Amino acid sequence: MDRTVYEAAGGAAAMLALARAWHRRCLQDELTAHPFSHPGQHPQHLERLAAYWGEQLGGPAAYTGALGDHSGVLRMHSGNGAHPELDEAAQACFALALDDAGLPPDPRLRASLRDWFRWATALMGSHPDDAGAVEAGLALPKWGWDGPEA
């Protein structure tokens, strides 16, 4: 049986390295720097992000077991209007961060991660006008080798 995308990427350490690399890339990009440069970011933002990503990609319930559900994450990213240019720039930073973080160069893994991040970015933008419109208690959606999992 295939390993999960999370396992193939390298597990928790890889998710944290990827979150750090993506964050660095975003801070260096003129368009993506703004959302990451405001004060008040949680001191463990990158660890939380890595836990969320890891769980979504088939890893342990490190995010939902201790930090919250998908509804809370959606609310954090909602009500900011549509921003397709920002989303595209964030995805470009992510693609570059795969190398920065030293993830395995396996083409299937890289393609799955890029596809997942595009899908996840669309999820984060699903409530552009009103964070209050996010349904309570949403389970964290999962991604497998063939895309979103039921």
The verdict on residue 4 lying in a domain is no
User: How many structural domains compose the chain?
Assistant: 1
Q: Which of 31, 118, 26, 138 minimizes the C-alpha distance to 74? A: 138
Helix, coil or strand: residue 142: strand
The verdict on residue 26 lying in a domain is yes
List the CATH number of the domain containing 82. 1.10.490.10
Contact criterion met (CB below 8 Å) for 140 and 67:
no
What whole-number distance in Å separates Cα of residue 102 and Cα of residue 100?
5
Q: Which of 148, 144, 147, 149 minimizes the C-alpha distance to 5? A: 144
CA 130 to chain centre: 21
The verdict on residue 3 lying in a domain is no
The verdict on residue 2 lying in a domain is no
One-letter amino acid for residue 48 of the chain = R
Please state the φ and ψ torsions of residue 142, each to the nearest 5 degrees.
-115, 155
Which residue segment(s) compose the domain that 28 sits in?
10-149
The pLDDT value given to residue 40: 73
The pLDDT value given to residue 150: 74
Token code pair at residue 121: 């970015």
The verdict on residue 127 lying in a domain is yes
The pLDDT value given to residue 64: 97
Token code pair at residue 102: 């030293």
The verdict on residue 1 lying in a domain is no
The verdict on residue 92 lying in a domain is yes
- Spell out the per-residue pLDDT of the chain, length 150, in tens: 479 999 999 999 999 999 999 999 999 999 999 887 777 778 899 999 999 999 999 999 999 999 999 999 999 999 999 999 999 999 999 999 999 999 999 999 999 999 999 999 999 999 999 999 999 999 999 999 999 997
Burial of 81 by CB count in 10 Å (0-12 exposed, 13-18 middle, 19+ buried)? exposed
The pLDDT value given to residue 37: 77
The verdict on residue 34 lying in a domain is yes
